[in-house]
Structure 1
Amino acid sequence: MTKPLRKDLENIPLYVPGKALPEALKLSSNEVPYGPLPGVPEAIAAAVGEVHRYPDLAVVRLRDALAERLGVDAERIAAGTGSVALIGHLMQAVADPGCDVVYSWRSFEAYPIAATVAGLRSVQVPNTADHRHDIAAMIKAVGPDTRAVIVCSPNNPTGQAVTAAELDELFDAVDPSVLVVIDEAYREFVTDPAAPDAVERYADRPNAVVFRTFSKAWGLAGLRAGYLIGSPEVAAAVSKCVIPFAVNVLAQTAALAALEAEEEMRRRVALVVAERERMLAAAREFVPDIPDSQANFFWLPLGERTVPFAAHCQEQGILVRPFDDDGVRVTLGRPEDDDRMLEAIRSFKEA
């Protein structure tokens, strides 16, 4: 087409969302199956009359509420349209010509997209044989041109969480000028005591950046609201890259209402965690090498059987998320939904 288009954009894979087909059981996107939290629909309805006004550019009310809840200064928080957007903005904020970002692979598929768009080179470090981040190898991959190391914990799509000992090792090994970015989109589902709350443990470190989102446990995937906690300098730089008025009126209102329903959020998370443990135990009867999960999904390491299995599930009216020839991510649903998923796994293995 026209000359100004960047040639390197041709090599960026499009972000692939989970499929959505009418009447199908959708276990292909990491959503919670219980609907909005109490009070959220009412808050959204009350705010509809304000949509002719521009939203609060600085997202002051939400940042203040998060600051109080997390015990950090509001100036250390930046808000955006989900943590995925903020990851992209952070990559823009740290990018210099010839620099790179280190992350595990396979991990969240938005990382290579965000890095390339920002002009950073991706240094992808293979996961361990048991589908975890190889922290020692990631440390070795850090070079003089590395601007950030991204840790996805729990890792999307494999579900494994990084331990405090591993993160301590990473922080101690890298130069303080290198940002250690901890993507905790699924933090609320973590039950492993070895996996730390990154805000509690690392927020005082000037090179720590923690991402969180309202899309998962808080049930606001359709409204796009997320945030990061970092140093005031990092938060300010990222905020400069965020599109003005990114967090709209309804998203901020819904996020504030969701925070008021934390007790119910925790109850729903407990239901998901109970299903996770049940499903891991049951599915391992057919796929023994399923790794542990600390998220609201689990990983089927099916290799070359990945695409046939996804097709088999779709024939059964179930949508899952295949990743090339690596494996399949299955989102946890209600018990009756997960029972259907188990039957699909069983019938595939016995076919």
Structure 2
Amino acid sequence: MVSARPAVQALPAYKPGRNPADLARELGVDRAVKLASNEVPFPPLPAVVQALATTAAETHRYPDNGAAVLTAELSAHYGVDPAQVVPGCGAVMLCQQLAQSFNDPGTAIAFAWRSFEMYPLLAQVAGARSTQVPLVPSVPGGSADTHDLDGLAAAVDEDTRLLFVCNPNNPTGTAVRRAALERFLDRVPDTVLVVLDEAYREFVTDPDVPDGLELMRGRPNVAVLRTFSKAWGLAGLRVGYLVAEDPAVADAVRRTHVPFSVSTMAQAAAVAALRSSDEVVRRVAAVVAERDRLTAALRDRGLEVPDSQANFVWLPLGEPTAEVARALEGRGVITRPFAGEGLRVTVGTPEEDDVFLAALDDVLPGVSAPAADDVRSGAPVG
């Protein structure tokens, strides 16, 4: 009998956010609101639509395996050498390539927890040990929601090969600041590759949250991971990129690239998006303004909401999280629950967010246990 590796058999199935059309049909309503996957609420950029129309006629040919044009555009955009840039089929694929490039079985990957849910899965597939360092409160007396950089540095051992810092952190939206991150990078041994996962960098408004590309300079064991899926609106095309200070790091990641995995259309769309950066800046500003409005509305309801530097907000509801998410779905609103911990809510349009807030007002008084007052105050539960 053919059997998969035990590590693969033990992997939990990835559960993407529900399709809103499916939920609407199930509920018998005209539409459901999806605030689960951190997509931007805008249609594709006009230049992207034009690029897709143009390149559609080329899809009978293989894409450029090296993504030369996109690499050159990224190189010019960020002022780095092309040898430092690695495009990939989404940031998740690049995370997998990093694990394949730097982790042998028995080595370790370190990261904060909770953070991006793929990190422990990547370690499991690579046969590496997950070194998970619990989050700490970003404000005194609050819920644990931000990186413990001192704890993360202390957790590095002789087996650690790869270390992820998700900044802003997914799913909590919090971000670590310049001085603390610089101290941390100075403490990590140069044998450990530190990857600053900045999937949500474009939404950062706190001037003290550093651009990872600036901190990368002069640190050969630091690389920065970004994506076109969020602010740039290309979630359906799967294209991300890694920028490494040391070209040898980029070369290693490039060697684990799945041939032709970044499609012709994805490459063309990413180039078109980069050339439309002014419009992206305007769209990001609209998301940030709505993020501030949504945060204020939730806090006005007595809910604990940490300051978010991403395009989503985090509600640390504790034990009732799954119950609240189910009740919201029953009212046509899809969010992203992390059972027993909290609810991640994507910033949508003002109309979508108002639908969410109205549904939440219906749901919270009916939360069974713990008391709704505990949920509202953010008090520890369970």
Match of 2:19 in 1: 20
How far apart, in 2, do the equivalents of 1:121 and 1:242 lie? 23
Deviation at 1:204, TM superposition (A): 3.0
Instruction: Report the AA paired with residue 21 of structure 1.
Output: P
How far apart, in 1, do the equivalents of 2:119 and 2:135 lie? 15
Match of 1:54 in 2: 62
Per-residue Cα deviation, 1:325-349 (whole angstroms, up to 9, x for no partner): 1111000111111111111222222
1:320 aligns with 2:320: no
Question: Which residue among 58, 83, 93 is the counterpart of 2:91?
Answer: 83
User: Does the 8 A contact of 2:39 with 2:230 survive in 1?
Assistant: yes
Deviation at 1:210, TM superposition (A): 0.4
Per-residue Cα deviation, 1:165-214 (whole angstroms, up to 9, x for no partner): 12111111111111111000000000011110001222331000100100
Matched pairs, number? 350
How far apart, in 2, do the equivalents of 1:154 and 1:30 lie? 13
What TM-score comes out, normalization by structure 2 length? 0.90
Question: Which residue among 286, 299, 318 is the counterpart of 2:314?
Answer: 299
Report the 3-state secondary structure (helix = DSSP H, G, I; strand = E; otherwise coil) of the residue aligned with 1:131.
Answer: strand
Match of 2:378 in 1: none
Question: Which residue among 199, 218, 226 is the counterpart of 1:212?
Answer: 226
Match of 2:172 in 1: 158
Match of 1:116 in 2: 124
Q: Map of 1:99-248 to 2, 5 A cutoff?
A: 99-129=107-137, 130-230=144-244, 231-248=246-263
How far apart, in 1, do the equivalents of 2:121 and 2:87 lie? 20
How far apart, in 1, do the equivalents of 2:90 and 2:104 lie? 24
Deviation at 1:257, TM superposition (A): 0.6
Structure 1: stretches of 5+ with no match in the other structure:
none
> Kindly, what percent of the aligned residue pairs are identical?
50
Deviation at 1:242, TM superposition (A): 1.1
1:8 aligns with 2:7: yes
How far apart, in 1, do the equivalents of 2:74 and 2:302 lie? 41
Distance verdict in 2 for CA 1:198–1:184, change over 3 Å: same
Instruction: Report the AA paired with residue 290 of structure 1.
Output: V
Which 4+ runs in 1 deviate beyond 4 A?
none
Structure 2: stretches of 5+ with no match in the other structure:
22-30, 138-143, 367-382
How far apart, in 2, do the equivalents of 1:149 and 1:167 lie? 13
Report the 3-state secondary structure (helix = DSSP H, G, I; strand = E; otherwise coil) of the residue aligned with 2:115.
Answer: coil
Per-residue Cα deviation, 1:106-163 (whole angstroms, up to 9, x for no partner): 1111111111112211111111134001111111111111112110011110000111
User: Does the 8 A contact of 1:153 with 1:183 survive in 2?
Assistant: yes
Report the 3-state secondary structure (helix = DSSP H, G, I; strand = E; otherwise coil) of the residue aligned with 2:168.
Answer: coil
1:94 aligns with 2:109: no
Deviation at 1:84, TM superposition (A): 0.9
Question: Which residue among 315, 325, 342 is the counterpart of 2:357?
Answer: 342
Deviation at 1:260, TM superposition (A): 1.2
Instruction: Report the AA paired with residue 153 of structure 2.
Output: I
Deviation at 1:287, TM superposition (A): 4.3
Match of 1:39 in 2: 47
Deviation at 1:249, TM superposition (A): 0.3
User: Does the 8 A contact of 2:105 with 2:126 survive in 1?
Assistant: no
How far apart, in 1, do the equivalents of 2:218 and 2:297 lie? 41
User: What's the Cα RMSD here?
Assistant: 1.1
How far apart, in 1, do the equivalents of 2:87 and 2:13 lie? 24
Deviation at 1:286, TM superposition (A): 2.5
Instruction: Report the AA paired with residue 2 of structure 1.
Output: V
User: Does the 8 A contact of 1:286 with 1:349 survive in 2?
Assistant: no
Deviation at 1:64, TM superposition (A): 0.3
User: Does the 8 A contact of 1:153 with 1:182 survive in 2?
Assistant: yes
Deviation at 1:290, TM superposition (A): 1.2
Q: Map of 1:249-260 to 2, 5 A cutoff?
A: 249-260=264-275
User: Does the 8 A contact of 2:324 with 2:364 survive in 1?
Assistant: no
How far apart, in 2, do the equivalents of 1:17 and 1:280 lie? 24
Instruction: Report the AA paired with residue 305 of structure 1.
Output: P
How far apart, in 2, do the equivalents of 1:14 and 1:266 lie? 35
Deviation at 1:225, TM superposition (A): 0.4
